[in-house]
Chain A
Amino acid sequence: MSLKKDLTNLLGSNAVFDDEETLRHYSRDQSFVPQCMPDAVAFPESVEQIQAIVAYANQTAVPLVPYSSGLNMHGGTVPKEGGVILNMSRMNRIIEVDQDNWFAVVEPGVTIRQLQNALEEKGLRAMLPLGTPPARSALTSCVERDPALASASFEYGNDLLMDTEIVLPDGELFKTGLWSAGGRPGSHMGPVRSMLYRFWTAAQGTLGILTKACIKVEHLPGMMEIRAFRFNSFNESLAALIDIQRREIGLECFLLNKLNLAALYCDDWHVPEEFPASPVASQDFSTLLDALPCWTLFVCLHGAPELPEEKIAYQAETLDEIAGHHGLNSVPLNGKQELLQHELLRPWGVLKKYNFKGAVHDLSFKAPLKRIPEFQHIIARVAEKYAYPIEEIGGYILPVERGRGAHCEFDFHAGPDGAAGHERIHALWREAGELLVDEGAFFDRPYGDWADMMYSRTGEYTAKLRELKIELDPNNILNPGHLCF
């Protein structure tokens, strides 16, 4: 029997596709990861169907590529060995929002926009990452450790994943957290001390297929105040940034360089529906680029559920004190407060940057705050070597857990695959990545080429991951070829 027939027997009609146009759509994304055609695309609608497909894959050695929204943008769902794309977008229920205990239970097809809209109706919010498409899966974003904008806060911005339900590579359904006791969800901790759920984070679907997850949500602030400060370099912001973090001021706190901020502010551009996008010329963008400071630090003060004005007031007072001490230059946000506040809850406006050239190739890594200038220098040096204009590098720095480290994103802009200069940007991106890893930039989510760069340098960690993969997925059916598998 053909693959399509077999899958149709398992899923029913109108759930399996293998026409060329569909397969081509799933064969690539906007990243440099090489194109590879899958053999079929299947749309399961239940856990039982997923288990049946996994059993089938184990019998036939057909690779399965778990796929929720396909908006990972780094090649995480581009097949390496063909096989079946397991598109989970039909499993798109928000199963529960618990207003007493502040969590939401979602299936993999629930998008971040869908979740945020549903939560707002109940006076709650999800903590979302900056620059993630609204159609990205909320579950996948969490499981792939996309860094939430509120990551500066130890309490509110990180560790958002609680209970998980997963179909393991052998087809067994397994649960972690409170769920593993068979009852209601609400904690990452279960009856055993293990934090096994962390094993499937940033795994790109290689270790199991998440079928639902319980995610932390937060109070929707009724009152917010965003403060901004301008700097000529990231280095110039460092001392004040550290003081602000150590005094635990604000929830969101991040820096954007002028290219990213100009894209966010640009009135001519819209958030693209598809990636890569078609470039759009904009005079507004050029004007903004000339006018904006090299870096802008944003500190977002939130009113709590009780006495919100007073909370903002005491935080603002200390922020003013620090600003005075460091001689910071405030940036008036006249007319931009609303846009920025909107961006905190629906943080995809910055994706307007795709209008610049069409595709964006970022270098996303974690680094100690004080080492960021060193890594910026490496990036600038390689850009110069490849004659890439420094002012066309996008920059986003997000302190994590009050400055214990930072999430760094530096973007190179390029035309889509096949456009002039595409190969040059690829070479630049790769060389910069290699040099960064050599110097210790930590690509904790090693997509595409970063996987080899990282895993060739992490010895026993890599060896143990491989051994575990063999033990858990002896037929290597789940997203083979990704990470170090």
Chain B
Amino acid sequence: MAAEQKQKVTQKKLAPHVYQALEDVVGKRWISEKRSLVETYSKLSIEGMTFVRKHRKDDTAVPACVVLPGTTGEVQSIVKVCNRYSVPFIPFTNGQVFSATTNDQPTLIIHLSRMNSIINIDTDNMVATLQAYVDYAQLQAEAMKHGLWNGGTPLATTVCKLSSQFSFAGLWQTDLKYGLLNRNLVSVKMVLPDGKILTVGSRCLPKAGDFWEYGPGPDLLGMQRGGAGSNGIVTEITVKLHPWAGDTTLPEVPHGRPSLEDVHEPKYDSPPPPANHRLHWIEFKDFSSQIKTMRDISHSGIAIGLNATGVYSAYYCSQTQEMTWERCKNKFFPDYNCYVIIAGITSAKQIDYEEKVLQKIVERNGGTFLTADHKPEVLEALKPWNLDCIRHTCGFRMNRKMYANAWLPTGPFEVGRQTQEFWSDALNAFGECDITDRGGADDTPFLYALQRGRFSFAEVDNYPDPTNPEEIQKAAGYGIYGMARLVKEKVCPCLMAFLSVEPFTTMFPEVGPNQHTLFQKIRRVFDPKGVNAPGRQVYTREEWENVPPMLKQWVNKMREMVGLESVQ
């Protein structure tokens, strides 16, 4: 690493006439190629590979220029300029994942932060139309005024933008009832990589309105989501809303709001649940009874959310990192637990009924509720979830160090058990970066019940120090090993956040099988010039040949480790 540290990083620049053409679109104020500014876009918050590139002083990580359009029309003009001069571009919102440069060409970042308005909340048809930079908190606050809500917020943070989650994630704490964001999409308006505008769903027919998500005929919405942001730029998104049983605003914490001096006092982290909502915590003697109970609850039809939180509680509910470590060390939270969110949408009697059913199921399976009589101190410590189960505000605590990897295998609840086994193997092979890495090995992994428990997501993560290249390198091992191991075991490796996810289909052609060849065909249709985040979703043959040998070596090493043949 020492020789690399002396290496000078030189920022690549756009040709002056390209810069001028872009400036003509947005004006001087909204374009910049200043090093101090563009550097911001070279390190993403949870994509480990961008940290590796930074530590390696890889100059391809630094974009050439950033531009901030204010309208769909401006996005369209920018994309046309990029097409004309073959400039790769990357759409950018929060910069968590999928926003890094993808090749060694001078790259333009199209930052969508000026497009941050809620265009419409249609209370009749229960949909909301948003510009690209609108976040979950904004949407929830507005929708709740109308007795509606979008059904949840992502665990990471409420400031995630729905438009970027369209391209990638959208996992919520209320997935049991409402599914992921992908189940809650109505339409998008996109600037395609060639500068044309595509709308999908009923809004593509004049006068039809924006209420229906499919067609006409074969559905393009799912394919666009599959593009991982490389089949165009979402400038407007319409999402479903649902009846909201709570008040028009979420309740305040009884102790008021903290000052900078006492911000870490737990009393500020004790919100009550929203009106007409209840949160119940249950602990179990082992993983089997937890899984059995979660399946029974899912099948009973009660509740809007059901999740096992695992090590996340140590982050979400601890006001300092020291508390997080202490609680992990001392096993403060029960090893096997889950929470259940109950809402009275039909009437207050719905809550009574659902609590009665819950009681029955928990008793039957030998679970124990956390109450004033049973572990009251744990129940008290878990209070941040009263708000976070509806609107996440504590997710940022996961990033105190770095929330580097996310293994998120999908499948029936039993996938949690497989995740536990494979993650334990990874810990044995690579060693831990942080004590919290052990979450999911010694206790329950995070387990999200989806769509009435038909399937679930398990989650385990690494928490390396981002300033420590060795720890980052170690975490990278987990990321690639995880992919290889899950593919080998035929378990679905949905969302692996160390690598940019989709191109892995080239490295793991077992998936699909040959999913990458289908993606290549689709890419040819949407991005014939290969300018929109080229290689983000799938590599062309040429791009694959130019992938850094280091990455290929890592992948093949891990493939070999789990007994898969190398890819070339």
Contacts and interface: CB of A to CB of B under 8 A. Distances in A.
Interface residues of B, number: 99
Interface string A143-163: 001000000001110010010
B216 A455 contact: yes
Contact of A445 (B127, B204, B217): B217
Interface string B503-540: 01100101111110111011011100000000000000
B451 A155 contact: yes
A366 B455 contact: no
A216 B179 CA distance: 14
B494 A198 contact: no
B512 A180 contact: yes
B392 to A, nearest CB: 20
Interface in A456-471: 457-461, 464-465, 467-468, 471
Interface in A194-230: 194-204, 206-207, 216, 219
Contacts of A191: 487, 492-494, 504-505, 508, 511, 515
Interface size for chain A: under 10, 10 to 19, 20 to 34, or 35 or more residues?
35 or more
A181 B490 contact: yes
A99 to B, nearest CB: 10
A199 B205 contact: no
A404 B214 contact: no
B208 interface: yes
B126 A403 contact: yes
Interface in A9-26: none
Contacts of B508: 191
B8 to A, nearest CB: 37
A154 B216 contact: no
A404 to B, nearest CB: 5
B410 A201 contact: no
A483 interface: yes
Interface in A383-436: 401-405
A317 interface: yes
A460 B214 contact: no
Interface string A307-321: 100110011011000
Nearest to B455: A187
B301 A310 contact: no
B494 A103 contact: no
Contacts of B329: none
Contact of A172 (B451, B453, B514): B514
A438 B208 CA distance: 9
A207 B494 CA distance: 25
A123 to B, nearest CB: 11
Given A404-B211, A451-B217, A454-B216, A101 B412 contact: yes
Contact of B206 (A186, A196, A440): A440
B29 interface: no
A173 B221 CA distance: 23
A68 to B, nearest CB: 18
Tell me what chain B mostly uses at the interface: helix, strand, loop, or mixed. mixed
Contacts of B208: 440-442
B347 interface: yes
B124 A199 contact: no
A483 B216 CA distance: 9
Interface stretch (A59-67, A245-253, A351-359): A245-253
Nearest to B200: A461
Contacts of B71: none
Given A437-B205, A468-B525, A472-B521, A368 B125 contact: yes
Interface of B: 124-127, 147, 167-169, 177-180, 182-183, 192, 196-200, 202, 204-209, 211-212, 214-223, 225-228, 240, 242-243, 295, 299-302, 345-347, 349-350, 352-353, 356-357, 360-361, 410-412, 450-455, 486-487, 489-495, 501-502, 504-505, 508, 510-515, 517-519, 521-522, 524-526
22 contacts: A180-B492, A181-B511, A182-B510, A187-B450, A196-B222, A199-B218, A199-B220, A200-B218, A307-B356, A307-B357, A310-B356, A366-B211, A404-B211, A405-B211, A405-B212, A441-B208, A445-B217, A455-B217, A459-B204, A460-B192, A461-B198, A465-B217
Given A192-B228, A306-B300, A442-B216, 15 more contacts: A145-B214, A174-B512, A183-B489, A191-B493, A192-B501, A193-B502, A305-B299, A314-B350, A369-B124, A405-B125, A405-B202, A442-B202, A454-B205, A464-B525, A471-B521
